[in-house]
């Protein structure tokens, strides 16, 4: 029996049975694997870390796309950093009112292989005429981008190891803030606090230096082992985090979205952090 054992943490690991291997290759940037697991469906890993599975990807992608977009309320221009599997793009493109989507992925091979072996993730979204796909380092892209041009930025990154590390730097958050329009918001993948508390605190400090309102929201994604995953939140408008349920309900209905995890109630509740997480953050930044 073949198995994949994740190498994310030192003292503990999760293990998946590989029922069929679709693809395994060292790309220009990272080690990419796509395999089938009888329970999870297709699973994609990068550098030994589970990125996404067919069974639970909806939780992560719905929460990272719909929470910032519906909190914003009139987002027209969205930037996705990373997200090579195409599922973030799929969720963003479901918002008909969005006029342009720029997606910046460092690894062209991840996109190609995901289109081929993980087609349900993008579900055709790569042909969306509103999409401008850029193959580039996210950090370089934001450095070179014009100020004030995006309403929402979603950083769908790997963990801060390897090519994803710069996407957790203070410079990255500062550049994102610069290229957001007034009233804009950025959301980031920030790991599982139970195992990655230092990264949470670090993001609080680094992101908090650039945004008037820095916070986190969360969701439990089963294959990101260890309980809730934290999503970073940065905006200069503290009101975006406090949009009431009725307003969200109305925006949600108007957008005509059908979701499996996201609801306006979940949206509101996801900003409530467990006391031990809140305590760990207190005293750092905001
Ligand atoms: N990227 C986030 C993977 C995070 C895994 N980290 C962890 N378990 N701590 C997902 C990319 C999906 N589009």
CB 68 within 8 A of CB 186: yes
CA dihedral 198, 194, 243, 186 (to 10 degrees): 40
Q: What are the DSSP calls for 233-263, one per residue?
A: EEES-GGGGG--HHHHHHHHHHHT---SS--
Separation of CA 195 and ligand 1 centre (Å)? 13
Q: Whose CA is nearest to atom 13 of ligand 1?
A: 83
Helices assigned H by DSSP within 17-164: 57-72, 87-93, 108-117, 119-122, 138-144
Asked if residue 58 lies in contact with residue 79, where contact means CB atoms within 8 angstroms, the answer is no
Torsion angle in degrees (nearest 10) through CA of 67, 196, 160, 121: -40
Q: C-alpha angle 127/128/130, rounded to 5°?
A: 135
Q: Could you read off the pLDDT of 172-210 as tens digits, one per residue?
A: 999 999 999 999 999 999 999 999 999 999 999 999 999
Q: Is 85 in the pocket of ligand 1 (CB under 6 A)?
A: yes
Q: Give the number of the atom of ligand 1 that is nearest the alpha carbon of residue 50.
A: 5
User: How confident is the model over 13-71, as pLDDT tens digits?
Assistant: 999 999 999 999 999 999 999 999 999 999 999 999 999 999 999 999 999 999 999 99
CB of 224 sitting under 6 A from ligand 1: yes
Q: How far is the CA of 1 from the centre of ligand 1 (A)?
A: 26
Ligand 1 closest atom vs CA 85: 13
- Segments making up each domain of the chain, as ranges: 2-53, 57-282
Q: Is 160 in the pocket of ligand 1 (CB under 6 A)?
A: no
Matching fold, domains 2-53 and 57-282? no
Closest CA to 138 of 99, 165, 177, 110: 165
107 lines ligand 1 (CB under 6 A): no
Q: For residue 143, give the nearest of 159, 167, 161 by alpha carbon.
A: 167
d(CA 39, CA 201): 34
pLDDT at 196: 97
Domain boundaries 57-282, corresponding CATH code: 3.40.50.150
- In the reported structure, the alpha carbon of residue 247 is separated from the centroid of ligand 1 by a whole-number distance in angstroms of 30
What superfamily does domain 2-53 belong to in CATH?
Spermidine synthase, tetramerisation domain (2.30.140.10)
Q: How far is the CA of 50 from the centre of ligand 1 (A)?
A: 7
- pLDDT value for 138: 97
On the CB side of 57, CA atoms within 13 Å amount to: 26
């Amino acid at each position: 029996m073949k198995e994949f054992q994740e190498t994310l943490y030192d003292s503990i690991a999760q293990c998946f049975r590989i029922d069929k291997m679709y693809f395994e290759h060292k790309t220009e940037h990272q080690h990419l694997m796509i395999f089938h697991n009888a329970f999870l469906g297709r699973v994609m890993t990068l550098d030994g870390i589970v990125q996404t599975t067919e069974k639970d990807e909806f939780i992560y992608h719905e929460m990272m796309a719909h929470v910032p977009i519906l909190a914003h309320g009139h987002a027209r221009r969205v930037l996705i950093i990373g997200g090579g599997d195409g599922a973030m793009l799929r969720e963003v493109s479901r918002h008909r009112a969005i006029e342009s989507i720029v997606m910046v992925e460092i690894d062209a091979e991840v996109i190609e292989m995901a289109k081929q072996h993980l087609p349900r993730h993008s579900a055709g979204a790569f042909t969306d005429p509103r999409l401008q796909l850029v193959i580039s380092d996210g950090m370089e892209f934001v450095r070179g981008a014009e100020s004030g041009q995006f309403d929402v930025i979603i950083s769908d990154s790997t963990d801060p190891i390897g090519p994803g590390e710069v996407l957790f730097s203070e410079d990255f958050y500062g550049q994102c803030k610069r290229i957001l329009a007034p009233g804009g918001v950025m959301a980031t993948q920030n790991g599982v606090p139970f195992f990655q508390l230092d990264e949470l605190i670090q993001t609080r400090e680094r992101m908090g230096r650039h945004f008037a309102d820095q916070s986190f929201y969360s969701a439990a994604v089963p294959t990101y082992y260890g309980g809730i995953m934290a999503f970073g939140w940065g905006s200069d408008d503290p009101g975006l985090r406090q949009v009431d349920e009725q307003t969200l309900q109305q925006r949600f209905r108007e957008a005509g979205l059908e979701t499996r995890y996201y609801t306006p109630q979940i949206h509101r509740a996801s900003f409530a952090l467990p006391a031990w997480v809140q305590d760990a953050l207190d005293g750092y930044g905001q």
